[in-house]
Amino acid sequence: MSKQYLTVSQLTSTVKLALDQTVGTVFVRGEVASATRSSLGHWYFTLKDQGAQVSCVCFSRQAASIKGTITVGMQVSLCADASFYAPRGQFQLTVWSIEQGGDGLLQAAFLKLKAELHEQGLFDVTAKKALPPIPATIGVITSPTGAAVADILKVLQQRFPLAQVMIYPSLVQGDLASAQIVKAMVRAQEHAVADVLILSRGGGDLSDLMAFNDKSVALAMSACTIPIISGIGHEIDETIADYVADVRAATPSAAAAMVVPDQYELQQSLGERADRLCVTIRRALALYQSDLVIASRRLISPLESLRRIQTELLVLSGKIAQIQRDQMGATRRLLLCCSHTLALRSPLNTMQQYDRQCLRLSNELVQSIRGCLNQKTAESTAIISKLQGLSPKQILSRGYAAVLNEDGCLLSRDKSVDVGQHIQVCLSESKLLAAVLSVEANDRS
């Protein structure tokens, strides 16, 4: 029986027809996991419970009858048609009516924990620690492969490249995320090098951010000895970690910007302070000179008083000069350090590192190919040797013979030959023509 193959369009049409005929209109209750509204007024959202989720679409004509908006965490009851969207091969519900039913289980759990921790004083403003003005080392607790860590590193590099960054990797979503976040905070405190910690992740719906709404994370943040700034999701996202953190930022990038000063603003501030110091020194010098003139007029022995004042003036001038030298030296050292850091982060150094890495990988690839070829050659030689051992010519060379009938067919039973019939006896290097004189059965015992 030949196989009959369906086209993709035929298959999706069959599935759609089966859904229309067997399922039809359904009534479903669940929690909104994500929701977006198009410019045409259509609602696209995901409905879920503890075990599954399904995509839903509510077109603008039906959406006009919805009171309010569809929000994440909302508990709703739907009247919808089970349908199959053929262009994407996706099962979905086409919604006809929606009834709202509360804030949803996740939102209710969030509000309950928020109230509990507020009563325990974890949100108390007076207990929050101040961020260091210029941190030497910044710890970042986030996923090492997410977009948040890339945004943070970019902002830190732009604003203050002198700061060292320590990444404490952790999951930021899923059942294991909260435990890993707590362990990352413990590691940061044991390491004892970070002056401030950034706790961050990218945006997401309420279910994606539940790791930051965990009680264990909140307690660990409250007990942490290092100041913590949160940069979780987008500005509209709200988590328990934001309330417990010493400082809350709207986004990961904003958290990085709040942690360090801008290097150019810092240089400008140092220049302004140096200018103010020079002005202060000049004013002080002028004041001392004025006092010297007044004192010289009051002294009975002007010459002795003048010598004493000159000595004091020399001492003060030396101190002023030393202050100027120290200030200029500190400014020069800071500029040299910034220049050295920028030179180390030159694209040329990065390209040289990539060149060396490419050369090493190329050599490893050549060695791997050679090893594979040698292995396959050895395997082929072994197989050829085994095949040669099974060759009929090899069997004949060991003293055996093959008996054929007149048609050249191999004889294996006595019933295949008659007395007087001509046969061929094939040896390893020759062939014998013979006639059968008699046929006798072998004694198999």
User: How much is the pTM?
Assistant: 0.46
For residue 128, report the phi and psi dihedrals to the nearest 5 degrees.
-80, 145
Q: Which residue has the tokens 């509000």?
A: 111
In degrees and rounded to multiples of 5, residue 57 shows phi and psi of -135, 135
Q: Is residue 362 part of a domain?
A: no
Which residue has tokens 């140096």?
274
Same domain, 290 and 190: no
pLDDT value at 4 more than 60: yes
pLDDT digits (tens, 9 = 90+) for 250-287: 999 999 999 999 888 888 888 888 889 998 999 999 88
Lowest mean pLDDT among 200-204, 296-300, 424-428: 296-300
pLDDT band at 108 (very low <50, low <70, confident <90, very high): low
Is residue 69 helix, strand or coil? coil
pLDDT band per the 50, 70, 90 thresholds, residue 418: confident
Residue 356 lies inside a defined structural domain of this protein: no
One-letter identity of residue 80 = A
- Alpha-carbon distance of 226 to 117, in angstroms, equals 20
The band of 302, judged by pLDDT with boundaries at 50, 70 and 90, is: low
CATH number at residue 197: 3.40.50.261
The domain in which residue 418 lies consists of 396-435
Share of the chain above pLDDT 90, in %: 33
**What's the mean pLDDT in 346-360?**
81
* Co-location of 141 and 250 in the same domain: yes
Residues 168 and 252 in one domain: yes
Nearest to 265 by CA among 397, 177, 353, 133: 133
Residue 441 main-chain phi, psi, to 5 deg: -80, 145
pLDDT greater than 60 at residue 367: yes
SS3 374: helix
Q: Are residues 40 and 52 in the same domain?
A: yes
N- to C-terminal Cα separation, the chain: 50
pLDDT at 105: 57
58 forms beta bridges with 43
> In the prediction, which pLDDT does 106 show?
67
116 and 98 within one domain:
no
Report which of 211, 246, 274, 257 is spatially closest to residue 127, judged by C-alpha positions: 246
Task: Tell which wins on pLDDT, 27 or 217.
Answer: 217
Res 258: pLDDT? 94
Same domain (yes/no): 241, 267: no
Is the Cβ–Cβ distance between 260 and 163 less than 8 Å?
yes
Q: Phi/psi class of residue 434: alpha, beta or left (left: φ > 0; alpha: ψ in -120 to 50)?
A: beta
Q: Do 134 and 217 fall within a single domain?
A: yes
Report the distance separating Cα 263 and Cα 374, nearest Å: 58
Q: Does residue 445 register a pLDDT over 60?
A: no
DSSP-derived secondary structure for 22-33: HT-EEEEEEEEE
From 324, 339, 354, give the residue that closes a domain. 339
Say yes or no: 133 and 237 in one domain. Answer: yes
Sign of CA dihedral 191, 192, 193, 198: positive
116 and 185, same domain (yes or no): yes
Amino acid at 269: S
CA 180 → CA 141, 151, 165, 168, 379, distances in Å? 10, 21, 19, 10, 48
Residue 413: which pLDDT band, with cuts at 50, 70 and 90?
low
Phi, psi dihedrals of residue 327, rounded to the nearest 5°? -65, -45
pLDDT at 102: 47
pLDDT in tens, 379-391: 888 888 888 777 7
Rg (CA), the chain: 43
Tally of domains in the chain: 4
Pairing of strands 196-201, 137-142: parallel
Q: Dig out the tokens for 269 from the structure.
A: 């501030």
Out of 49, 69, 103, a domain closes at: 103
In a domain, residue 390? The reply is: no
The pLDDT of residue 118 is above 70 = yes
Q: What mean pLDDT is reported for the chain?
A: 85
State residue 434's pLDDT score.
85
| CA pair distance 219, 106, nearest whole angstrom | 20
| 121 band by pLDDT with thresholds 50, 70 and 90 | very high
pLDDT value at residue 161: 92
Residue-wise pLDDT tens digits, 123-174: 999 989 999 999 999 999 999 998 899 999 999 999 999 999 999 999 999 8
Are residue 123 and residue 66 in the same domain, yes or no? no
- pLDDT attached to residue 36: 92
Is the CB of residue 151 less than 8 Å from the CB of residue 253?
Answer: yes
Task: Pick the more confident residue, 440 or 192.
Answer: 192
Q: Read off the tokens for 311.
A: 């000595």
Share of the chain above pLDDT 70, in %: 94
List the alpha helices (DSSP H) in 120-239.
Answer: 147-159, 177-191, 215-223
Q: Flag whether 391 is in a domain.
A: no
Residue 168: which of 193, 147, 151 has the closest Cα?
193
What kind and span of H or E run contains 163? none
For residues 413 and 430, state if they share a domain.
yes
